[in-house]
Amino acid sequence: KPEFSILVIGGDGIGPEVTAEATALLDVISTHPKSRAAFKLLPRLFGGCSIDAHVGGPKWDGMRRGFEGPEGATLRLRDVTQVYANLRPCEYFAAGNSPLRDELVRGAKFIVLRENCGGPFYGPKEETPDYASDLWSYKRSEIERIARMAAHLALSSASPKKTVTSCDKANVLASSRLWRKVVQETIEKEFPEVEIVHQLADSATTLMMMRPTLFNGVILADNTFGDILSDLAGVIPGTLGVLPSACLAGIPAQKWGDNPVKGFYEPVHGSAPDIAGKGIANPIGAILSVALMLRYSFGMEEEAAAVEKAVNLTLGAGFRTKDMRGTTSTKDMGNLVREALQQLLDQ
Pick the binder of ligand NAD from 274, 318, 346, 347 (CB under 6 A). Answer: 274
What count of Cα atoms within 13 Å lies in the side-chain half-sphere of residue 94?
Answer: 6
Q: Find the binding residues for Mn ion in span 293-322 (CB under 5 A).
A: none
Pick the binder of ligand NAD from 21, 303, 308, 323 (CB under 6 A). Answer: 323
Q: Find the binding residues for ligand IPM in span 75-94 (CB under 6 A).
A: 75
SS3 229: helix
Which range binds ligand IPM by CB under 6 A, 53-61, 67-75, 207-215, 336-344? 67-75
Q: Find the binding residues for ligand NAD in span 205-244 (CB under 6 A).
A: 240-241
CB of 21 or CB of 227, closer to Mn ion = 227
Q: Which of 239, 122, 125, 225 is nearest to 165 (CA)?
A: 225
Q: Which residues make Cβ contacts (< 8 Å) with residue 135, sequence separation at least 6?
A: 120, 123, 124, 125
The distance of closest approach from Cβ of residue 327 to ligand NAD in the complex, given in angstroms and rounded to an integer, is 13
The distance of closest approach from Cβ of residue 270 to ligand IPM in the complex, given in angstroms and rounded to an integer, is 6
- Tell me, letter by letter, the H, E, C secondary structure of 69-129: CCHHHHHHHHHHHCCCEEEEEEECCCCCCCCCCHHHHCCCEEEEEEECCCHHHCCCEEECC
Q: Find the binding residues for ligand IPM in span 251-280 (CB under 6 A).
A: 270
Do the beta carbons of residue 52 and residue 58 sit within 8 Å? yes
Residue 274 interaction partner, one of ligand NAD, ligand IPM, Mn ion, none, beta carbon < 5-8 Å per kind? ligand NAD
CB of 227 or CB of 266, closer to Mn ion = 227
Q: Which residues make Cβ contacts (< 8 Å) with residue 97, sequence separation at least 6?
A: 237, 238, 239, 320, 323, 324, 325
CB of 74 or CB of 335, closer to ligand NAD = 74
Q: For residues 233 and 214, what is the distance between their CA atoms, to the nearest angstrom?
A: 13
Do the beta carbons of residue 240 and residue 285 sit within 8 Å? yes
Pick the binder of ligand NAD from 114, 152, 269, 320 (CB under 6 A). Answer: 269
The distance of closest approach from Cβ of residue 227 to Mn ion in the complex, given in angstroms and rounded to an integer, is 4
Do the beta carbons of residue 18 and residue 285 sit within 8 Å? yes
Does residue 71 interact with ligand IPM by CB under 6 A?
yes
| Residues near ligand IPM (CB under 6 A) | 71, 74-75, 227, 270
Task: Give the binding site for ligand NAD (CB under 6 A).
Answer: 14, 18, 70-71, 74, 240-241, 266, 269-275, 281-282, 285, 323
